[in-house]
A and B are shown apart, each in its own frame.
Chain A
């Protein structure tokens, strides 16, 4: 009977979350904001290149981003609708959204929070436009949140019940998070530290060593495979960290431009992340969570082990501040650092933690419970009424957006029904490739092997059109093509905010290769 009640409550909650998830996706699909993030389009293109293009294959996963989200797209991205609607990428975010909501509920249940507190916790996570928006896009955040929350949930379960299977589950989910984003790596380190300390204190050195090694064996598998991948594909295990397309390279450029203000400045790093956190969470839930966390850590009704385990929920906070301080990450908060928004969504990384701690507070507040719920409802009402979502602002007008409608529109109108390849740097213009709606096999880019190498030397034999930023050596196409003789055989037919379009003069078309000739490349 009781088991049925529990199963039913999960079913009802899961169903409600599914409905919310689908409605949110449809809203952002129809208002065309679903693919506003430049990165969302790049993620989809990476997934697509694995199955379609001049040189398809797993190597197309590249090294810019960790691979799990792109791998998960593979089963559906071959379909043009799934690719261009963004659903191939959003689907996993939507599933992750439902899973995270359920995990918040179950986490709170396991720390003896009553039904109201659990529902408020889930409500805080769900009733957030930033969360709803990012679960509707092909971004990595929601999947990361789901795996990290699952990792923390099973870690807490292990602390509570001391069952080895929970530790294995925790290491599995944390391993998954390490192949989504580098935030997962920090969680891996944090969780390992917490496990080692706890096991050492409770059972001594030998058990601590064994437990930690067991956790790390599975937990660090993804990290090890990533090093191996980089070694095999790019001949450098640290290519992802220091390669030309790495975040490090991007940050170096930003530093040179003088806009990496948080690097080496801990107060500013804290301030910037604090604002991002508050803007993403609508402030009141975050403040309630802070109080809830303190109450939880001093609540003697919970075992010290469980209280200790919840520290893992703070890993994203420490990670993001550290990343800003060390210059490995960049975050612009309009009016605080930078004149625009950029990567403001990083502030959303604590949403499950905020939901859990705030749900705990509601449970403990007793007489004040309804007052706190009233305050929450008041703020959330205005947040929804005003459509307050910094992540959408970033996607619409911040540095995370890239409106390439004009140049992509030109390609769609002028190249779609004509033969010939388009030479373009995917590193610089993935959004154009995506928005043009042309098949991936029409593009010669960095990942096309011999086509790319040949086109950079003799563009007039391979590319009917060239898309690049004139006079910008950061654009690899310009860097090499501008120095070739063949470049003179092109007319500039369009000049747009993000790129110019060059077209081969008609008299040279007879010598142009318009079909894939290299067969299957290794």
Chain B
């Protein structure tokens, strides 16, 4: 086995260990029904973005239905819609569909929740290698590329969301895969694959097609050579790949809302189980003027607030939660400045901009109660590609290397903290408005540890009586730092 293969294996094993060490749960996870009712902070179902998707998977298996029972709907609230007396998840169904085989496997061994959630576990590991593969395509060495992939997962909130049942890792998988495909030749197989992955991404989350649109437009444009009067008709296979997913989506809508063109998002949240929601407090305090427009969910006027929250703030700031992205940003800018004909940096720039733009224009850029900018996880993956590209070129400079190491340590520290505690952190105004105010920053996670609590299943099962939660955190943190050793 050569050095690079050994390095790959080591990255795989280390990723596996770190993810395994941070899987959410406690002793109750092994009893069949308890997890269904436990939505406390730090538990696998602490966020309705996981529970709402999970109950759909459960309904698919148990009732062969897209519709939820009242109990399931209550558990999924507030992310549940109601239409004509029928309950269904407010989210796109892609993750729930993909999680079904994992649910079945988990059920066989009596661990449906663990089995289902392992979908993201595996997707996250695949994403490490996809990011690395793309970095290599851009000229980085395989060892630096692997570090880039590793940092994406363990130096950002991507780690915390690998332990949930949310859409983020599937979005990353789709984004990086499509970027990689766009660097390959235009064959029927590649186009079909492109279409299929695009379709899966569409079914996973509404904004995905917009984020992926620059890549799709580019891939499509490669087929048309107007100056040579030539068209490569294999582009039709892209459409053929997407089509089944559009049909599935239309059928799903028909069965839930009664119309193939009406999706749950446009039905809106059910108010039946109204508890504290994650509606941003700011929109409550400053009444909006009802203008005569269409009132679409993305608003240009929200941009400036959205940028501030998603890039700099201590609530969800990209740079605040993962300072290492600065290295990636510098790498991207330097690559773009070269004005090379390689389209990938341009496509990544476009996709990152759209990712940022969509959520900055969205009414809730915080992503409800969450850790870091969860909506920017695809952007984090893309920017991580440029960390190896930059470091390969400038890594020999002591100053650059020192800055890089500091950024990495800070990023990994916060990522570990979230992975071992909770990704359920309120936006600032909501945190301050609670009867007993709580922090809106990683301080909340530190407090969790200080109370000798951890969300880690392994810790709760095996180490709770051996060591304090904080020690366990330090051990996992140290393990994650190993990759930074030369």
Taking the nearest CB of chain A, how far is it from the CB of B349, in angstroms?
6
Closest to A397 in B: B289
The answer on a CB contact under 8 Å between B300 and A282 is yes
Given contacts A279-B301, A283-B307, A388-B300, whether A379 and B357 have CB atoms under 8 Å apart is yes
From the candidates A368, A378, A383, A397, name the one contacting B336 in the complex (CB within 8 A): A368
Chain B residues whose C-beta falls within 8 Å of the C-beta of A275 in the assembled complex: 304
Q: Name the residue among B282, B293, B294, B350 with the largest chain A CB count within 10 angstroms.
A: B293
The answer on a CB contact under 8 Å between B293 and A386 is yes
Is A122 among interface residues, defined by CB-CB distance under 8 A?
Answer: no
Given contacts A282-B300, A367-B346, A375-B353, whether A385 and B291 have CB atoms under 8 Å apart is no
Closest to B291 in A: A387
Is B486 among interface residues, defined by CB-CB distance under 8 A?
Answer: no
Is A392 among interface residues, defined by CB-CB distance under 8 A?
Answer: yes
Within 8 A of B (CB), among A300-338: 334-335
Q: How far is the CA of A496 from the CA of B202 in the complex (A)?
A: 56
The answer on a CB contact under 8 Å between A378 and B296 is no
Q: Name the residue among A279, A379, A384, A397 with the largest chain B CB count within 10 angstroms.
A: A379
Interface residues on B, range: 20 to 34
The answer on a CB contact under 8 Å between B304 and A283 is yes
Is B361 among interface residues, defined by CB-CB distance under 8 A?
Answer: yes
Within 8 A of A (CB), among B250-306: 282, 285-286, 289, 291-296, 298-301, 303-304
The answer on a CB contact under 8 Å between B293 and A388 is yes
Q: How far is the CA of A388 from the CA of B346 in the complex (A)?
A: 30
Chain A residues whose C-beta falls within 8 Å of the C-beta of B292 in the assembled complex: 31, 387
The answer on a CB contact under 8 Å between B286 and A388 is no
Is B354 among interface residues, defined by CB-CB distance under 8 A?
Answer: yes
From the candidates A278, A367, A384, A386, name the one contacting B304 in the complex (CB within 8 A): A278
Mark each residue of chain A from 374 to 397: 1 if its CB lies under 8 Å from any CB of chain B, else 0. Answer: 110011101111111110110011
Is B37 among interface residues, defined by CB-CB distance under 8 A?
Answer: no
The answer on a CB contact under 8 Å between B339 and A366 is yes
The answer on a CB contact under 8 Å between B346 and A284 is no
Is A265 among interface residues, defined by CB-CB distance under 8 A?
Answer: no
The answer on a CB contact under 8 Å between A375 and B354 is yes
Taking the nearest CB of chain A, how far is it from the CB of B395, in angstroms?
26
Is B439 among interface residues, defined by CB-CB distance under 8 A?
Answer: no
Chain A residues whose C-beta falls within 8 Å of the C-beta of B341 in the assembled complex: 367
The answer on a CB contact under 8 Å between B349 and A368 is yes
From the candidates A379, A386, A390, name the one contacting B296 in the complex (CB within 8 A): A386
The answer on a CB contact under 8 Å between B303 and A278 is yes
Interface residues on A, range: 20 to 34
Is B214 among interface residues, defined by CB-CB distance under 8 A?
Answer: yes
Chain A residues whose C-beta falls within 8 Å of the C-beta of B299 in the assembled complex: 382, 386, 388
The answer on a CB contact under 8 Å between B214 and A382 is no
Chain A residues whose C-beta falls within 8 Å of the C-beta of B354 in the assembled complex: 374-375, 378
Chain A residues whose C-beta falls within 8 Å of the C-beta of B294 in the assembled complex: 385-387
From the candidates B282, B295, B339, B350, name the one contacting A371 in the complex (CB within 8 A): B350
Taking the nearest CB of chain B, how far is it from the CB of A299, in angstroms?
14
Mark each residue of chain A from 346 to 375: 1 if its CB lies under 8 Å from any CB of chain B, else 0. Answer: 000000000000000000001110010011
Q: How far is the CA of A329 from the CA of B354 in the complex (A)?
A: 37
The answer on a CB contact under 8 Å between B289 and A396 is yes
Taking the nearest CB of chain A, how far is it from the CB of B306, in angstroms?
9
Q: How far is the CA of A375 from the CA of B343 in the complex (A)?
A: 17
From the candidates B210, B301, B336, B353, name the one contacting A388 in the complex (CB within 8 A): B301
The answer on a CB contact under 8 Å between B349 and A335 is no
Chain A residues whose C-beta falls within 8 Å of the C-beta of B361 in the assembled complex: 379, 382
Chain A residues whose C-beta falls within 8 Å of the C-beta of B339 in the assembled complex: 366-367
From the candidates A284, A368, A393, name the one contacting B291 in the complex (CB within 8 A): A393
Taking the nearest CB of chain A, how far is it from the CB of B281, in angstroms?
12
Chain B residues whose C-beta falls within 8 Å of the C-beta of A284 in the assembled complex: 300, 303, 357
Taking the nearest CB of chain B, how far is it from the CB of A397, in angstroms?
5
Chain A residues whose C-beta falls within 8 Å of the C-beta of B295 in the assembled complex: 386
Chain B residues whose C-beta falls within 8 Å of the C-beta of A396 in the assembled complex: 289
The answer on a CB contact under 8 Å between A385 and B289 is no
Chain B residues whose C-beta falls within 8 Å of the C-beta of A397 in the assembled complex: 289
The answer on a CB contact under 8 Å between B346 and A368 is yes
Taking the nearest CB of chain A, how far is it from the CB of B317, in angstroms?
17
Within 8 A of B (CB), among A245-300: 275, 278-279, 282-284
Closest to B306 in A: A283
Q: How far is the CA of A382 from the CA of B285 in the complex (A)?
A: 24
Closest to B304 in A: A278
Closest to B289 in A: A393
Q: How far is the CA of A386 from the CA of B349 in the complex (A)?
A: 27
Q: How far is the CA of A393 from the CA of B296 in the complex (A)?
A: 17
The answer on a CB contact under 8 Å between A374 and B214 is yes
Q: How far is the CA of A183 from the CA of B440 in the complex (A)?
A: 43
Taking the nearest CB of chain A, how far is it from the CB of B414, in angstroms?
27
Q: How far is the CA of A389 from the CA of B290 in the complex (A)?
A: 11
Mark each residue of chain B from 349 to 385: 1 if its CB lies under 8 Å from any CB of chain A, else 0. Answer: 1100110010001000000000000000000000000
The answer on a CB contact under 8 Å between B214 and A371 is yes
The answer on a CB contact under 8 Å between A382 and B289 is no
Closest to A275 in B: B304
Taking the nearest CB of chain B, how far is it from the CB of A216, in angstroms?
39
The answer on a CB contact under 8 Å between B350 and A283 is no
Chain B residues whose C-beta falls within 8 Å of the C-beta of A368 in the assembled complex: 336, 346, 349-350
Given contacts A367-B339, A374-B214, A392-B291, whether A379 and B300 have CB atoms under 8 Å apart is yes
Q: How far is the CA of A367 from the CA of B304 in the complex (A)?
A: 26
The answer on a CB contact under 8 Å between A388 and B304 is no
From the candidates B291, B298, B350, name the one contacting A389 in the complex (CB within 8 A): B291
Taking the nearest CB of chain B, how far is it from the CB of A426, in angstroms?
29
Q: How far is the CA of A324 from the CA of B356 in the complex (A)?
A: 32
The answer on a CB contact under 8 Å between A335 and B291 is no
The answer on a CB contact under 8 Å between A382 and B282 is no
Given contacts A284-B303, A367-B339, A386-B294, whether A378 and B357 have CB atoms under 8 Å apart is yes
Q: How far is the CA of A397 from the CA of B290 in the complex (A)?
A: 10
Chain A residues whose C-beta falls within 8 Å of the C-beta of B353 in the assembled complex: 371, 375
Taking the nearest CB of chain A, how far is it from the CB of B84, in angstroms?
29
Closest to A274 in B: B304
Q: How far is the CA of A397 from the CA of B289 in the complex (A)?
A: 8
Taking the nearest CB of chain B, how far is it from the CB of A331, in angstroms?
16
Closest to A379 in B: B300
Taking the nearest CB of chain A, how far is it from the CB of B379, in angstroms?
14
Q: How far is the CA of A384 from the CA of B295 in the complex (A)?
A: 10
Given contacts A367-B346, A371-B214, whether A379 and B291 have CB atoms under 8 Å apart is no
Chain A residues whose C-beta falls within 8 Å of the C-beta of B291 in the assembled complex: 386-389, 392-393
Q: How far is the CA of A397 from the CA of B291 in the complex (A)?
A: 10
Closest to B338 in A: A367
Q: How far is the CA of A112 from the CA of B299 in the complex (A)?
A: 34
Q: How far is the CA of A316 from the CA of B389 in the complex (A)?
A: 42
The answer on a CB contact under 8 Å between A371 and B300 is no
Taking the nearest CB of chain B, how far is it from the CB of A512, in angstroms?
45
Q: How far is the CA of A275 from the CA of B210 in the complex (A)?
A: 27
Taking the nearest CB of chain B, how far is it from the CB of A255, in angstroms?
24
Within 8 A of B (CB), among A384-426: 384-390, 392-393, 396-397
Q: How far is the CA of A49 from the CA of B343 in the complex (A)?
A: 64
Closest to A281 in B: B300
Q: Name the residue among B285, B289, B300, B354 with the largest chain A CB count within 10 angstroms.
A: B300
Mark each residue of chain B from 129 to 169: 1 if its CB lies under 8 Å from any CB of chain A, else 0. Answer: 00000000000000000000000000000000000000000
Given A284-B357, A386-B299, A390-B301, 14 more A-B residue pairs with CB atoms under 8 Å apart are A279-B304, A284-B300, A335-B285, A368-B336, A371-B350, A371-B353, A374-B214, A383-B300, A384-B293, A385-B294, A386-B291, A387-B294, A393-B291, A397-B289
Residues of A in contact with B (beta carbons under 8 Å apart): 31, 275, 278-279, 282-284, 334-335, 366-368, 371, 374-375, 378-380, 382-390, 392-393, 396-397
A–B complex contacts, Cβ < 8 Å, 20 sampled: A31-B292, A279-B301, A282-B303, A335-B282, A335-B285, A367-B341, A368-B349, A374-B354, A375-B353, A375-B354, A378-B357, A382-B300, A385-B293, A385-B296, A386-B293, A387-B294, A388-B291, A392-B291, A393-B289, A396-B289
6 tightest Cβ-Cβ pairs between the two chains A and B: A387-B293, A283-B303, A386-B293, A383-B300, A371-B350, A335-B286
